[in-house]
Amino acid sequence: MTMDDSAPRPSAEEPAGGGPDHPADARTSVPPPQIRGTLIEAATPQWSAQNPYDAVQDGGTPAAAPGPTAAPAAPGVPAPRSAFGPAGLFGAFDPLDPLDPLNTVNRYDAGAAGTSGYVPRRSPLDPLGLWPHAVADPRRDRHTAAIVVCSLLAAVVTLVAAITQVPDRTGEARAAADAGVATQPGTVAPSEEPPDPGDKNPGDDGQDADGGSGGGDGAEDDPKQDTGTPSAPPTSDPDLKGPSASAAQRTTVLNRARTLTAARTSALAANNVDAFLTPVDKNNKAFVDAERRLFTNLTMVPFDETRWSADEVSDARNDSGSSAAWPVTATVGVDFRHKISNVDVLPVVERYVWTLRCASASDPCTLTQVSGARDSNISGPAGYPAPWDVWELAVERRPHVIVLGPSASAADLRVRADEAEAAAAYDLANWTGPEGASPGFVITLTRERTTFEKLYSRESPGDWAAGFALPLSAADDSRAIGGSRVVIDLDEMDQDREFSRIILRHEMVHALLDPLTRADYDQIPLWAAEGFADWVAQADRSIADSYEARGVGAQIKDGKFTGTLPDDEDFASEDEKVIDAAYNQSHLAVRYLAETYGADKACTFIADVYMGTADGVESAIEAATGQTLSQFEKAWAEWTRKNFG
């Protein structure tokens, strides 16, 4: 299927920050299907003034140039130029003009061809005006002109020499790909983008001495370092060259791809790494190592189901210059269908793009590159790259959580997995809503910010996020959510123990609810989603003298508390104080609901909102409280002023 690069990345996320009194507070969670991050519209300056060097106006007067106006020139003297620079190098009449460095226009000679005023005068043999007869000017002679010409010729020769010495990186990479040879480390293949500025080792191929992903020397010795450079560029699209292959060739390639995906499925099931690597280009050692690492990683994750399938040939090009001949290089959409045990309620897919090179109609084809598909407005995030695509994995399993991360952080992950299990058990114990919520959670923890922002989707969660929960569409029904993936920045968790506990609980609440989603996301107000997650995360502590209570109390004191529930625009504000207030008020709104009508009613309310069983949030509130939304809002505002004002 064709992927849409303008697709959103549906998610819930927590901003960086925290502290003893600042639990998951400065957040700007953006719900699906709204794209996370800020869209900056850069205005492009446009030239609107008339070009002062246009043709001579009627009557022989040149169009006026902007800026100071010079006195008219005497007959036989060139007209003055517009004031773009100092006096020219070849005479006082010739200030250099950045719009006309060769001084070819706006040179005027009086009375030419019987006309009045000033008109351009150029020789048809010298259109650039280098020779003195091109413009009537006694101060420019042939010696000067010769110097100009020689200088220009020297510049041209130097430029040509420089160009011929510049390495043709694209051509080299293409030739290497055609020959089945890996490009040299540090070069950029035509299907790749330049290194991310955030990469600490942009020239590294992602492999360290013992087979792990890059991260620099000392990563094994320092538990606060991990490896974060993905093995394949998640934002790249293979760029194939040459004439399009025929329809028959595309069909042949697709059939070969389906054979290869079936073989890969069988190889993983049989724990046969050699069979898994059979189609991989053996001339590209880095690629072979990455695919071997992928195989090992997948064997460490508890799956109920795994299956690869070829979807369609997105592009196919003939290398020989003839649309009917072989070899053919093609990109094929490949789905990795999988279901993680005790986490996913339905199978989900990770969408890859395989690049295959088929030497002939009978060739089984060679896998030369793996990249990720684009996110889709229909199917949601591509799920690429998953942690198993990025690092040599460390996997920690607990009854309700599976914690993934780079092997360099294995010791840290063991401790964090216990914290995550405690948070998961807490969330599940506090959920009294209907069945169908997530029974467990898969959590990725990393200190590498570049990787944090690329996991599972091309859409970054934003540089402010400390964590996010990303729902993945079900493999067989894009309208359903099969499971959710939680990703948290370990450096943010290190800030404060209380913040660490709350962000784990908060993100897992989002992941818990994601499989219940049946309503359109624009029917799930953020005050309900974020307020419920914050309330559950902190339901075991008193709200009195909390960060939220003090924040709303200050609003009441300053006369800024309006008594209305936050709208979605408040969460997307560029003013951090507005965002902060939106989270605080949302938490208090759901806490009021739970303390007044019972925790069970709060769970029923949010389930109705997510599942769409009620006719919108208004009906969900009425079903839970017996009040209209406006009555609930008024009662909540009174409760808030009474308790925190």
Distance from C-alpha of 515 to C-alpha of 510, rounded to nearest angstrom: 10
Q: Which residues of the chain have pLDDT under 70?
A: 1-151, 155-236, 322-324
Whether the CB-CB separation of 330 and 245 falls below 8 Å is answered with yes
Distance from C-alpha of 606 to C-alpha of 620, rounded to nearest angstrom: 8
pLDDT of residue 534: 96
Give kind and range of the element (H or E) at residue 354: strand 348-358
Rounded (10°) CA dihedral 16, 595, 605, 342: 60
Verdict on whether the full-model pTM lies above 0.75:
no
CATH architecture of the domain with residue range 247-388: Roll (3.10)
CATH class label, 521-645: mainly alpha
pLDDT of residue 13: 54
Give kind and range of the element (H or E) at residue 387: helix 387-390
Distance from C-alpha of 645 to C-alpha of 634, rounded to nearest angstrom: 15
The 10 Å Cβ neighbour count of residue 88 is 16
pLDDT of residue 368: 97
Distance from C-alpha of 621 to C-alpha of 527, rounded to nearest angstrom: 13
Query: pLDDT tens-digit profile of 244-270?
Result: 999 999 999 999 999 999 999 999 999
Query: pLDDT tens-digit profile of 349-390?
Result: 999 999 999 999 999 999 999 999 999 988 899 999 999 999
pLDDT of residue 469: 96
Whether the CB-CB separation of 358 and 328 falls below 8 Å is answered with yes
- Map 398-425 to HEC letters: CCCEEEEEEHHHHHHHHHHHHHHHHHHH
pLDDT of residue 583: 94
517's CB contacts (< 8 A; 6+ apart) are: 471, 480, 481, 524, 610, 611
Burial label, 500 (beta-carbon count in 10 A; 0-12, 13-18, 19+): buried
The 10 Å Cβ neighbour count of residue 379 is 22
Distance from C-alpha of 276 to C-alpha of 270, rounded to nearest angstrom: 10
What is the domain partition of the chain in residue ranges? 57-166, 247-388, 521-645
Token look-up 């609003």 returns 555
